[in-house]
Structure 1
Amino acid sequence: MRVIVVGAGIIGSAIALELRRRGAEVTLIEGQAEGGHTSAASAGMVNPFSLTPHETPALPFYLNSLQMYPEWAQQLQSLTHIDVEWRQGGCLRVALTPADANHLSENLEWIRRYEPNATWVEPPAALEREPTLSHEIAGAIYLPSEGWVNTERLMRALHCAVQLSGANLYTGTPALCLERLQNRVHGVRIAHGVIEGDAVVIAAGAWTSALLQPLGVQTPIEPVRGVILRLGDLPAPIKSILSSSMGYLVPRADGTVLMGATREQAGFDLRATAEGYAYLLQSLTRIAPALLHATVLGHVVGLRPDTPDHHPYLGAITGYEGLYLAAGHAYHGILMAPATARAVADLILDGKTTLPIEPFDPNRFTR
């Protein structure tokens, strides 16, 4: 089975590696000189509960992916000798106002059905655990199963593992169009010709729609600009993710912390603006004002590929043989990568998957 994967971000790279592990002949194509720019420009949260304000049909898939993470991260390290800094250090979902506290306490009821060890934390206990938090918080939920990875190291490990697996990796090679004979997609055209395959997976993030529009496939995806600050010289270390309605803080193994993120409708503009910085600093004032004295070490900018219902497209495209879609993961790509890779490999090699992908039907906006 020859499979072409378009897009070498975390989703495309994870799919390519899983397919290669299961014996497929894989070609991974990336339009930029170095793939995974958007994936690397992420805080790396693996947080199924604090990502969603309510119980969602996508949650079972999120939890499957979370369960895969420890082994997946260890396998990548064993293959590449790159530590992706997987840490299952938990998340403190902070209520900034009494209204937030009421909402979080209501959420705790359904969260405990999946995470029995989730607990309500009163403000004094939250401040004792995380001294940099604002003294104005109204409480928090502690979610012990959530964690994070270093996305820059994760992307390096994935690209290294893909190459070590024997897959063909082409960077700086834009996919110009899909090649088809009637309703069968059989290849991808690049500048120097056509790469032939038995199946094609489109995992091109915010650039996905442009490849599918000539086929009449409607998969609306909008790029959402996200700016994240990197802070150092902290007055006290942060032990876990600090998440709130205004933003989040994610610790790194080197003692720095990532503060994010803006959500800006700015097309494909990758600038970090003064307005974006102002929003992040305002959020920091509300969440952890002690960090206003930290050093700003830099920032990263990424384009999150978002869909109208904020769920990705995952599966086979109706009406075309050999065409699969894995795109539109928005803020969930890091979390969903291991399970997405397994599900897509299942569909291509076995024709079905036991993973709960129903909420992600790629044909849901064409009916």
Structure 2
Amino acid sequence: MSSAGCGVHSAYVVDRNGSIVTPADILTSVEWTRVLDDVSTAHVVISPDGDCCAQLGKVRTWRHKLVIARDGVTVWEGPIIQAEWSFDKVELWASDVLVWLDRRVPHQSITFDATDLTTIGEWLIEDGFAPDDPGHTVTVLGPARVDGGRKYTVDIGQTGDHLRDLADTGLDYTAVGSDIVLMPEDWSASVGTLTDADFPAGLIVAEDGSQLATRVIVHGDENSGVKGVSGDEDAYYGLLERSIEETSVTTSASAEAAARSRRAANYPVPVFLSSDEVTLSPEAAVDVPKLVPGWCVDVATAATCRSLTQRLKIAGVKVTEDGDGESVQVTLAPASSDLED
């Protein structure tokens, strides 16, 4: 059986051409994250000596990539966005492969009609990287089963924002190294089980009603007249309405699908589980490299006044290692709209 364990990290800097610039010989601190439907980040502090110092002086943002391994297994990589050189240390901040899409725009105009969101998402990624590919792959775990009508115009909007808009309406995505993984929003494959014993202290169960809506209206461009509606007054919550403009939506059918997805994501009120203030126990029955946002873990906890027994989706992971050892923190969110607690 896999367990979280106590990992040891290493890191190195890679040039755009694939050659290694330098290893981080004395790594005093490392932090890497994984997030769902957005760009993750990493930060390392290096105490340079000898040749390592000279090579680290050559590091340039966007040209070079930070690669982090845990117990010899690569767990994170992406372009260096910020670097600082001090008398006795070098600090590097990096973002994952998705950050390039925040610096790319559509390179051709296209209209999708009743097309699965994973197909649209894959097109956005491939189009974004087409003129200049820093090295990426795309893995599609399954169709979103949400059809969308979308229109993109050359040079209008950032590709990363277009991808995030899709994630609001029925698609999930995350980066694992240089691989961008697309999956349906209800993807529920489990990578382990967590109980109260795996959260020694600091466990938080939270109900977030800030985005609750019993009725959602999605409009296309204000001049198109396209509109989709999902839900109505609720016998338990009453009537809570949200009106949203999705300018890339081109058909009423896709607007209705977007409204259903928006409502399902926040109805009933999502219940989250967070260990942001505590590390997972090393004996926790999960393999840290497999803690990928979008996958799920089965959780049973009665440590707080709000007990919880259900399959939850990994929404975020944060791993740090310094002189005090390793800390693995996770944030878990509802896996689907039909939850029991």
Smaller-chain TM-score bracket: under 0.3
Flag the structure with larger Rg. Answer: 2
TM-score normalised by structure 2 residue count: 0.28
TM-score normalised by structure 1 residue count: 0.26
Is the helix fraction higher in 1 or 2? 1
